[in-house]
Amino acid sequence: MPLITSILIHYQRSENMKKIIEGIRHQTIQSDIIVWDNSGDCPGDGVDVMIRSSHNFHCLPRVLIAGTVKTEYIYNQDDDLAINDKFLFEKFITMSKRYPDYVIGWNGRQFHKDINWEKAYSFPNKGSGGGWWDYAPIENETSIDMINFGVSFLRTELINQIKINPFVLGYTEEEYKYGDDIIISSQLQKKRTMDFKLLSNYEWLNEFENRGGALSKQSRHMVVRDELCRRIWEKKYNG
């Protein structure tokens, strides 16, 4: 059995998928590949499981899928970049063994009471606190840290910490659409980012702006994410 399950979310970027799948197949460590196809036009070559959805559920299915896999590790990746380093999964596993209770991703942010909540996510360095953190998060007894799940690697066991039912947690479909990684991060006990040099292990691919572009480029993206950061922090510390 492979050590890793790679979960890919696809939406209207079928031209990217061949290179994305090749980047995973060429890794020195074997991985199963599961694709959740939100637009119904993703090619299936090189994929172990293809799930064609009748509705665009955005990024949320990656957590649904992760709760069903049997491999030791899970790798998440968006459909606008491809791995160009065949040893990347080896690096992920080495880091995960060193920090077994952490989710590994390529960037994160931290929030606490002195941050400017109107720009909590979009400009986290404004104000007297918060901001991007790299490799090791800042320790703060009243802070919440968030990891970007667009590229992330974790032990499958950690998925058991996450509740994803929006009706149970009180989040809307729009909030899951634009801020699923913030919601997921708020439920995880520990997160950690790898060194930003991780970016050099990827090639950015075409985002196809004429088809609506990435969620991160849409006007509501930052507004919703800023508000989610505030709500999650206040729920935890002002209850």
Q: How do residues 24-65 score in pLDDT, each as one tens digit?
A: 999 999 999 999 999 889 988 999 999 999 888 888 888 889
Residues in contact with 85: Cβ distance below 8 Å, sequence separation at least 6, in sequence order? 91, 200, 201
CB 37 within 8 A of CB 50: yes
CATH topology of domain 4-237: Spore Coat Polysaccharide Biosynthesis Protein SpsA; Chain A (3.90.550)
- Write the CB contacts of 199 (distance below 8 Å, at least 6 apart in sequence): 106
Higher-scoring residue by pLDDT: 119, 47: 47
pLDDT at 209: 52
**What is residue 116's predicted lDDT score, i.e. its pLDDT?**
74
Amino acid 57: pLDDT: 86
Average pLDDT of the residues in 124-133: 44
Q: Backbone dihedral region of 107: left (phi > 0), alpha (psi from -120 to 50 degrees) or beta?
A: beta
Residues 189-199 have a mean pLDDT of: 76
Report H helices in 26-172: 61-66, 88-98, 166-169
Contact, 13 vs 206, CB < 8 A?
A: yes
What tens digit of pLDDT does each residue of 138-187 get?
555 677 778 888 899 999 999 888 887 666 778 888 888 888 888 888 88
pLDDT-derived band at 83, boundaries 50, 70, 90? very high
Instruction: Give the separation between CA 218 and CA 238, rounded to whole angstroms.
Output: 31
How much is the pLDDT for 193?
76
Confidence band, pLDDT 50/70/90 cuts, at residue 133 = very low
Average pLDDT, the chain: 83
Confidence of residue 124 (pLDDT cuts 50, 70, 90): low
- For the chain, give every domain's residue range: 4-237
Predicted local distance difference test score (pLDDT) of residue 91: 93
More confident residue, 108 or 51: 51
Contact 69, 5 (CB under 8 A): yes
Look at the block and give the residue holding tokens 């104000």. Answer: 127
